[in-house]
Structure 1
Amino acid sequence: MSEPTLPEGVERRTFDGSDRLATRGEAVYGEPTDGEWRAWNPDRSKLGAMFELGMETGLRGDETVLYLGAASGTTVSHVADFAGPTYAVEFAARPARDLLDAAASRPRLFPLLADARKPATYAHVVEADVDAIVQDVATRGQARVALENRRFLADDGRLLLAVKARSEDVTRDPEDVFTDVETELDEGYEILERRRLEPYHADHLAVVARSR
């Protein structure tokens, strides 16, 4: 695997004899810790898998981030450890409660109980011109979610999208699903890099794109 360009605040450190990604922050999901550092598990994080696979995300640290599909905070807590203001959108009430716990020790993490398919409901909170949109939303219409939220992205910002094929159509070949998603994304984004997320996540495609 190629060596990824990691943002400032993300390092490779040794946990139990294994070299792993890590950020500084309070543990959230039972991950190993070493002092103030905590391991970042790519098997539970699409963005972590993107780093492990050497994708060039464009993240350098201190960015303003809009995270769509924050769930209980596994990945977005790592993002908030190294990024600037991080807006975490989650629709389901149960994981949102865990997200609130993860945010308690992270003053730059702002949980929003909202539907990523309806960005108008949080447009009054999220600042314009975010540096990155990180999207991990397991729903049909994942490209449409990315297009609807493009309004928040700075001209030179990046979309970091994890596409789950089975959420679009469980009956179709994943590559056919990915092709359709990329075609729809072309309405508003230029794709810079695409990569399947195996072995970390089956039937997932990671896309790095910028606004047209």
Structure 2
Amino acid sequence: MSDLPDGIQRREFDGQTRLATRGDPVYGEPTDGGWRCWDAGRSKLGAMLEGGMGIDLSSGEGVLYLGAASGTTVSHVADFAGPTYAVEFAPRPMADLLDVAEARNNLFPLLKDARKPDTYSHVVESDLDLLVQDVATRGQARVAVDNARFLGDNGQLLLAIKARSEDVTADPETVFDSVCAELTEAYKITDRQRLDPSHDDHLGVVARKR
């Protein structure tokens, strides 16, 4: 079972026990007092936690989140973490992400390309605890390897690999093996698990910086 920090609990919503973080709700999710439901069907990281992967969030003092989109998952991360840098390439979801960040003083949206970490290295601090990546692009391993510079010693990578973004024609397991092999340039993989049925053709990967 994942080691959940104080800012995450398992609470009952609509008769089901689900993950929740304490913070301002976004996009109409169910709430219970000051807790907001973390829907695994809308969040790859949520699905990794629900699947019981070997994730350690107890030291999430500083986080770099790649592929923040409109802010659904990264808002949950910012609820329990320290400084959270949210990189998103597309202007439209960035507008929504900026709205989400208004209620979170520790969430810093960056309109940048995760494939080009030099463009935000002057903003993002080094020695971070967590790198969370959900980027739908070819070369997902290279993105993770190039951004490892921001992790401190023994920093953790939480990666959602989207097989169809790498090769829409290849067998997903073949894609997953290839991406994981490339990750070993900078990381030691400690856990991997398919995210079906919440997210088809996705693999969750937990790894430590070498």
- Bin of the TM-score, shorter chain as denominator length: over 0.9
Q: How large is the RMSD of aligned CA atoms in angstroms?
A: 1.0
Match of 1:119 among 102, 106, 117: 117
1: CA distance between counterparts of 2:6 and 2:170? 39
TM-score (norm 2): 0.97
1: CA distance between counterparts of 2:27 and 2:202? 22
2: CA distance between counterparts of 1:136 and 1:29? 19
| Mapping for residues 64-75 of structure 1, pairs under 5 Å | 64-75=62-73
2: CA distance between counterparts of 1:155 and 1:127? 14
2: CA distance between counterparts of 1:116 and 1:205? 19
- Cα contact 1:4–1:55 (8 A) shared by 2: yes
Deviates more, 1:142-151 or 1:28-37: 28-37
Unaligned runs of 5+ in 2: none
TM-score (norm 1): 0.97
Post-superposition offset of 1:12: 0.7
One-letter amino acid of the counterpart of residue 133, structure 2? Q
When the two structures are aligned, how many residues end up with a matched partner?
210
Counterpart of 2:50 in structure 1 is: 52
- Among all aligned residue pairs of Structure 1 and Structure 2, give the percentage whose two residues are the same amino acid: 70
2: CA distance between counterparts of 1:203 and 1:16? 28
Counterpart of 2:61 in structure 1 is: 63
Counterpart of 2:198 in structure 1 is: 200
2: CA distance between counterparts of 1:27 and 1:69? 20
Counterpart of 1:140 in structure 2 is: 138
Q: Which aligned segments of 4 or more residues in structure 1 are displaced greater than 2 angstroms?
A: none
One-letter amino acid of the counterpart of residue 50, structure 1? M
Matched, 1:189 2:174: no
Post-superposition offset of 1:7: 2.2
One-letter amino acid of the counterpart of residue 199, structure 1? P
One-letter amino acid of the counterpart of residue 95, structure 1? P
Match of 1:110 among 108, 115, 122: 108
Match of 2:81 among 80, 83, 94: 83
Match of 2:175 among 161, 174, 177: 177
Post-superposition offset of 1:58: 1.3
- Cα contact 1:156–1:210 (8 A) shared by 2: yes
Match of 2:127 among 126, 129, 146: 129
Deviation per CA, 1:144-192: give whole Å up to 9, x if none: 0001101101111100000000000000000000011011111111111
1: CA distance between counterparts of 2:109 and 2:27? 17
Counterpart of 1:32 in structure 2 is: 30
2: CA distance between counterparts of 1:29 and 1:172? 35
2: CA distance between counterparts of 1:62 and 1:159? 11
2: CA distance between counterparts of 1:16 and 1:182? 37
- Cα contact 2:193–2:204 (8 A) shared by 1: yes
SS in 1 for 2:147: helix
Post-superposition offset of 1:17: 1.9
Counterpart of 2:7 in structure 1 is: 9
Post-superposition offset of 1:4: 3.2
